[in-house]
Amino acid sequence: EKYPIEVESKNDVLNDKKTSKKWLKELESTFEKFHLMHSDKVSNNDIEYLKTEKSKLLAEKSRLEKEHKNLHDLIAKTTIQLMEVREAVCKILSKGHSISDVGEKLMEHFGKKIDNEFSYGSGRRKIIRFLEDTFLINKIQSKGIFEILEKSKILNFKLELPKNNILFQNKDLASYANGYIPLVSNWYINS
C-alpha cells in the first residue's frame, strides 16, 4: 500500500444493520467509479476518502467477526443445553436410563441396522414397541424416547440409492417422487 491506514475508533463503527447495508452499497458503487477512473485523475481528496472508508471497513469487519464469534458461542452453549435437557427427559421417560443406555439396549437387540425394515413408519413402530417392552413404559413415553434418540442421532433412517442407481416403479405410490422409490432404505443405530 502506498498510504498508511489507521483503524478508526469504535464510535465510528456502524451499529445499525440497515445503515450498514446502505453504506456498503453506496461504497461499492463509489469504488466501482474509482476503479473506472484513470489513475491520473484521482485527487488527494479521493485518496483521503478511500483511506477513511478503508478504515471504516476494517472496523466494521472487526465488529462483524466479534459478532460472528459470539453467535457461534451461543449456538454451542444452546446445543450443550439441548443435549443436557434431552438426557434429563430421557432419564425421566425411561425410568432412569440415559440416552447411551437406551442406545446400547437397542444395539444389543437389533445390532447396527434394523433388518427387514425398509420404511420409516414400520421401523419406527418396531423401535417404539421394543422401547415399551424393554423399559415397561407406555406408548407416549416410548414415542418421546424415540424422538430424543432420533434428534440425538442415535437412530438414523437413511434412504440409499443402489450403486447402479436403478429404481423401480411403484404404482401404489404414484404421488411419491413420480412413482419411483429407492430400493434400499434402513434404520441405523449409532450407539
pLDDT in tens, 30-77: 888 877 777 777 788 888 888 898 898 999 899 999 999 999 999 999
40 domain-assigned: yes
Residue 89 is assigned to a structural domain of this protein: no
Q: Which residues fall within 8 angstroms of residue 137, CB to CB, at 6 or more apart?
A: 93, 94, 95, 131, 145
Query: Does 64 lie in the same domain as 103?
Result: no
- The C-alpha cell that represents 7 in the structure block: 483503524
The reply to whether 104 and 26 lie within a common domain is no
188 grid coordinates: 441405523
For residues 114 and 181, membership in a common domain is answered with: yes
Q: Does residue 182 carry a pLDDT above 70? A: no
Mark whether 170 and 122 lie in a shared domain.
yes
Report residue 150 as a C-alpha cell: 432420533
Of 3-12, 118-127, 131-140, 165-174, the one with minimum mean pLDDT is 3-12
Identity of residue 163 = K
Which range of residues forms the domain containing residue 110? 94-189
Number of domains composing the chain = 2
For the chain, what percent of residues have pLDDT higher than 70? 79
Say whether both 148 and 64 belong to one domain. no
Give me 177's grid cell: 417422487
- DSSP 8-state symbol, 8: P
Statement to judge: residues 100 and 176 lie in one domain: yes
**Would you say residue 74 lies in a domain?**
no
Give yes or no: residues 114 and 173 share one domain: yes
Same domain, yes or no: 62 and 118 = no
pLDDT (0 to 100) of residue 162: 61
Is 161 inside a domain boundary? yes
The closest alpha carbon to 5, from 49, 63, 35, belongs to 49
- Grid coordinates representing 86 are 434431552
| 163 inside domain | yes
For 78-95, write each residue's pLDDT tens digit: 999 999 999 999 999 999
Does 118 lie in the same domain as 53? no
Q: Are residues 59 and 131 in the same domain?
A: no
What is the pLDDT of the chain when averaged over all its residues?
A: 83
- Same domain? For 99 and 174 the reply is yes
In a domain, residue 75? The reply is no
In which element (H, E) is residue 170 found?
none
Task: Report if residue 137 sits inside a domain.
Answer: yes
Q: Does 162 fall in a domain?
A: yes
